[in-house]
Amino acid sequence: MQSAAGSANEAHPLFGGALSAAIPHSATDISELREIPDNQEVFAHAHTDQSLIVELVEYQGQVADQDAARYHFEDIAGSNKALEPGAFEVTSVVALPKSELSLSECSTAWMLTGTQSVSKFNEEARNSVTIHLGLFRLPQFSTDVLITFNDPQSISPESSSACAVGTHQQPWMVKDFQRLVQTLTLHNPGLFG
């Protein structure tokens, strides 16, 4: 398995080089291991159960900018089968100043932090996962770009992820996720069709 990221300051090509961003240390490109949808780039930490997903999704024009991050977070909760009461919570949503972002083409950008109670691979065991979500709104391309950092906080002993517990050799930090969000750069708008 190859590490997807060289140095932390190096831009890593995404979607065939149409986008790039600084991917954190110890990242494994999951597309080298299994099939990944064309609208996603997925990276897993080599030694923890953390993951990062860069995803291109349809722009949701009916959702106000300030509500869009929560909309996508709840969509992820649905995919994670974590929609029942108490299974997910949004703890903060903040607007990101465009002056701090490389993706100047976005109309607005947002960062959301929340938690979800998630079972992996349809297991019964549920893990508590902090989800950091970066959202770039690109209405001119009918696209929302999501960057999701899944950071497990407590892993059930019955979960298949339990083997990752205790092997936390330099886990990714929120600042690694923030750097990825800030360095996301568009090189080829043809990516959006």
**How buried is residue 76: exposed, middle or buried, by Cβ count under 10 Å (0-12/13-18/19+)?**
buried
Q: What is the pLDDT of residue 163?
A: 55
- How far is C-alpha 83 from the chain's CA centre? 19
What's the confidence (pLDDT) of residue 154? 67
pLDDT at 159: 46
Asked if residue 66 lies in contact with residue 60, where contact means CB atoms within 8 angstroms, the answer is no
Provide φ and ψ at 56, rounded to 5°: -100, 120
Question: Would you tell me how many other CB atoms lie within 10 Å of the CB of residue 78?
Answer: 11
Give the length of the chain. 193
Question: Cα(185)–Cα(5) distance, rounded to whole angstroms?
Answer: 16
- pLDDT per residue as tens, the chain (193 positions): 344 444 455 789 999 999 999 999 889 999 999 999 999 999 999 888 899 999 999 999 999 999 999 999 999 888 877 777 778 889 999 999 999 999 999 999 999 999 988 766 566 666 778 999 999 999 999 999 999 999 987 655 454 454 544 444 688 999 999 999 999 999 999 999 8
